[in-house]
Amino acid sequence: MYGHEYRLAPEHPFPAPLDDCVSAAAHVLKNGADWGIDVTKVGVGGMSAGGNLAAATALRLLDDQYRHLPRLRYQVLAVPVLQGLFRDLPSYSQCEPFAKALISPNEKATFVLAYAGLDISPSTVRQVLEGRHVRPATRARMAKYVSGVQVKASSHKELTGEEVEVNESLADAYERVFLNPLASPLFAEEDQLKQVPAAVVVMSQYDPLRDEALLYVRRLQHAGVPVTHHLIPNGHHISLLVRDEGPGSEACRLAYETIFQRCGGGPLAMGLFSGVSLIFAVCVAGLAFYLYTPLPSDIDQPGIARAMCAMNKMLGLVERMCFGLFCDYKNEFRRKQAVASMLLPVTKLDSDPDLKVTNEVYDGVKVRVYRPVRAPVPTPAVMYFHGGGWCWGAVDTEDSFARLLAKEAQLVVISVEYRLAPEYPFPAPLDDCVTATQHVLTHSLDLRIDPKRVGVAGLSAGGNLAAAVALRMQDFPFRSLPRLRFQVLLMPGLQGLDFDLPSYRDNDPATGHMLSRDVVAKYVLAYAGLEFTPSVVRQVALNQHVTSDTRAKLSKFLEQAVLETATVGSKGKRKKAGRSHGVNVTLAKLAEQLPPSAVIMSQYDVLRDEALLYVHSLQQAGVPVVSHLVNRGHHLAILGASDQDNSNGGRKAYLTVLQFIRKMVEDV
């Protein structure tokens, strides 16, 4: 048995992975006799995407250049991906609720885009899921390959009666790859299929890929190819890898027996697969141990906190591996972006009857507009800036929160798709946010927005951008525009000078895998357009990046802002957080002209103290401020806003914000 380490997308898209597999198979067929291999009994096999490569390899070896080689004896396709065109087969809709954690339509769309060498941003994934990546004429022409299977109506036209708006450039590139039988073996011509070797196809009941495997079995049978197929009852996408335990173990054992009976295996081969399963189980257990993060026993919303810690640990592990392979460290944020696009569910724009959601472009800046359908006109509005350390994230990552705020506050939420560092460092992200805000204030009548009731808001790095926009809008070029009515800063990052504030010392050990001083230092460096290799990040995290003269010059902003009490201890007692002269570099001389502010911070967040310092500075400048500390909260506590349990710390914080905004837009 030979396991092949083929090149991976997106760095090496189609046909590179397939080329590697074909080259390896041809090499074995050509030279196997010299190694004691019976080349008349060589087969190919693979699981999931590997099943796709196995089927495509069997087709590719039919080419004339390989005709002099011995023919393959068999192919084993385990839960294979066999087409990239139809995303509305029944197995997708039936299995998504059960299989989302293993492979969802979101994930498959991301995988196939990456394999095709195309953009894998959330907006492109959304277009694929909405059917905007394939022309209707192409679907009609290829429908013969899925005949007999009822395809669920899910395209824009089928649901609304309106013509689907196909992205022609995306469709050109996508169809060029996935109409090729070597990328979508299901679409191979019958003359080709007649020549492929005998096949074993294994599929699982609760796997979104189930139906394309069934369709391929039917096509092979129609072409006269000997096929043995096995459906694992109650199985999921990776049931074959965990066959030694659980309710599906017997079905998995039968599936393995089917494979080995067809492929001529014996006890040795079965023992080999048992060993592989054992090794896999041990690896999973070890990974689970590595991803587990001890958190403060009283932390609010521990599930969200642990999930974020686990994701960041996993990304850190991948990052260190890539450094070991001399990969470009700047790709880390694009990997994080890809993970986010796979894990987050994509919500259709028109999924909520209470909102009209549209994607717009304001003076060259992409935005998503959430308008309550029953809100009075002109309507108050908030410019919303997503988080992600200025380096990743998108309007999609905080889509649910934007929808919730728009409906419950009855105001227009305009979420800005600003450019991201390190490709676009400061001031590019801020410029985009200012441009979008200026457009809304200038064209408010056309947008049916009340210019006297427009505010800014953001989470984490988005909170920094909201605060910076409020400062920037005081500059002379914007003096003729209506003034902002309010600003809402949610767990904001507000300075990059001092990484030894008490909140860093207190929380870096406790919740550092969610957001640590090293991670914040990395984001700040990337936003500044500077190198962020591990050695440079470490220097910044140790406060070795600012001269003593600069620190002294900026300390005037904190002359009266010394931290003395910052958190509420787990037993309800006040706990001293120590003293610090950390500098808030977002303040300016015009701070007294800033709009009324709401600032939300969390007890177990490394950014807590800079938010407290900003609250103090605003108060000293005479700016009305509502501040809320989420007791036992973490950096993303506000994402618990949709939880109707009002004892939830995130929900309490959100209700504070909601009450503040309602007061601001009603008191005009």
Residue with tokens 């019976």: 38
Identify the active-site residue in 20, 506, 518, 605.
Answer: 605
Residue with tokens 């910076």: 468
Token pair recorded at residue 410 = 């009855």
480 as an active site residue: the answer is: no
Residues 194 and 322 in one domain: no
Tell me which H or E stretch contains 446.
none
Structural contact between residues 297 and 114, judged by C-beta atoms closer than 8 angstroms: no
Answer yes or no: is 154 within a domain. no
Residues 41 and 119 in one domain: yes
Q: What are the DSSP E strand ranges found in 283-378? A: 355-362, 365-372
The domain spanning residue 609 has which CATH number?
A: 3.40.50.1820
Mean of all residue pLDDT scores within the chain: 79
- What residues pair up with 204 in beta bridges, in sequence order? 232
Number of C-beta neighbours around residue 147 at 10 A: 9
Answer yes or no: is 275 within a domain. no
Answer yes or no: is 572 within a domain. no
Nearest to 338 by CA among 11, 668, 31: 11
Coil/strand/helix, residue 355: strand
Per-residue pLDDT at 257: 65
Residues 477 and 613 in one domain: yes
Structural contact between residues 542 and 551, judged by C-beta atoms closer than 8 angstroms: no
Token pair recorded at residue 530 = 């500077």
Nearest to 564 by CA among 599, 609, 602: 609
Residues 180 and 318 in one domain: no
User: Which of 264, 282, 314 is the last residue in one of the domains?
Assistant: 264
Residue with tokens 């080995």: 260
Tens of pLDDT, residues 165-201: 899 999 999 999 999 999 999 999 999 999 999 999 9
Identify the active-site residue in 237, 513, 628, 635.
Answer: 635
Residue 456 φ then ψ, to 5°: -125, 150
pTM of the model: 0.58
Q: Tell how far CA 660 is from the center of its chain.
A: 31
605 as an active site residue: the answer is: yes
88 as an active site residue: the answer is: no
Token pair recorded at residue 414 = 């305009």
- What residues pair up with 246 in beta bridges, in sequence order? none
Burial, 161: exposed, middle or buried (Cβ in 10 Å; 0-12, 13-18, 19+)?
exposed
User: Which of 236, 264, 292 is the last residue in one of the domains?
Assistant: 264
Residues 401 and 385 in one domain: yes
Peptide bond into 13 cis (omega under 30): no
Identify the active-site residue in 104, 277, 460, 580.
Answer: 460
User: Which of 264, 290, 312 is the last residue in one of the domains?
Assistant: 264
Residues 215 and 190 in one domain: yes
What is the rounded distance in angstroms from the CA atom of residue 353 to the CA atom of residue 161?
17
Query: Identity (one letter) of the amino acid at 212?
Result: E
- Rounded (5°) CA angle 304-309-332: 120
Using the Cα atoms of residue 497, residue 503, residue 509 and residue 514 in order, give the sign of their dihedral: negative
Coil/strand/helix, residue 266: coil
Structural contact between residues 355 and 370, judged by C-beta atoms closer than 8 angstroms: yes
Structural contact between residues 412 and 379, judged by C-beta atoms closer than 8 angstroms: yes
Structural contact between residues 597 and 618, judged by C-beta atoms closer than 8 angstroms: yes
Low-confidence spans in the chain with pLDDT less than 50: 150-162, 243, 246-248, 251, 266-280, 282, 319-320, 322-327, 512, 559-562, 565-590
Edge-to-edge strand list for the sheet holding 379-385: 355-362, 365-372, 412-416, 379-385, 449-459, 486-490, 597-602, 625-630
Answer yes or no: is 271 within a domain. no
Per-residue pLDDT at 274: 46
Segments in 325-479 forming alpha helices (H): 332-343, 399-409, 428-442, 461-472
Number of H helices, E strands in the chain: 23, 14
Nearest to 441 by CA among 486, 383, 375, 487: 383
Per-residue pLDDT at 253: 62
What is the rounded distance in angstroms from the CA atom of residue 205 to the CA atom of residue 235?
5
Angle of the 332-343 helix axis to the 105-115 helix axis, nearest 10: 140
What is the rounded distance in angstroms from the CA atom of residue 396 to the CA atom of residue 15?
30
Residues 347 and 245 in one domain: no
Query: Identity (one letter) of the amino acid at 511?
Result: T
- Residue 382: CA atoms inside 13 Å, Cβ hemisphere, count? 32
Residues 558 and 655 in one domain: no
Answer yes or no: is 632 within a domain. yes
Residues 258 and 379 in one domain: no
Residues 615 and 522 in one domain: no
Residues 22 and 138 in one domain: yes
Answer yes or no: is 577 within a domain. no
Structural contact between residues 521 and 390, judged by C-beta atoms closer than 8 angstroms: no
Per-residue pLDDT at 255: 54
Per-residue pLDDT at 502: 87
What is the rounded distance in angstroms from the CA atom of residue 518 to the CA atom of residue 331?
17
Answer yes or no: is 568 within a domain. no
Q: What are the DSSP E strand ranges found in 147-233? A: 198-204, 227-232
Containing structural domain, residue 335: 302-339
Nearest to 318 by CA among 333, 301, 298, 300: 333
Answer yes or no: is 296 within a domain. no
Structural contact between residues 370 and 412, judged by C-beta atoms closer than 8 angstroms: yes
How many domains are there within the chain?
A: 4
Residues 216 and 330 in one domain: no
- What are the angstrom distances between the C-alpha of 185 and each of 67, 82, 509, 618? 20, 5, 50, 63
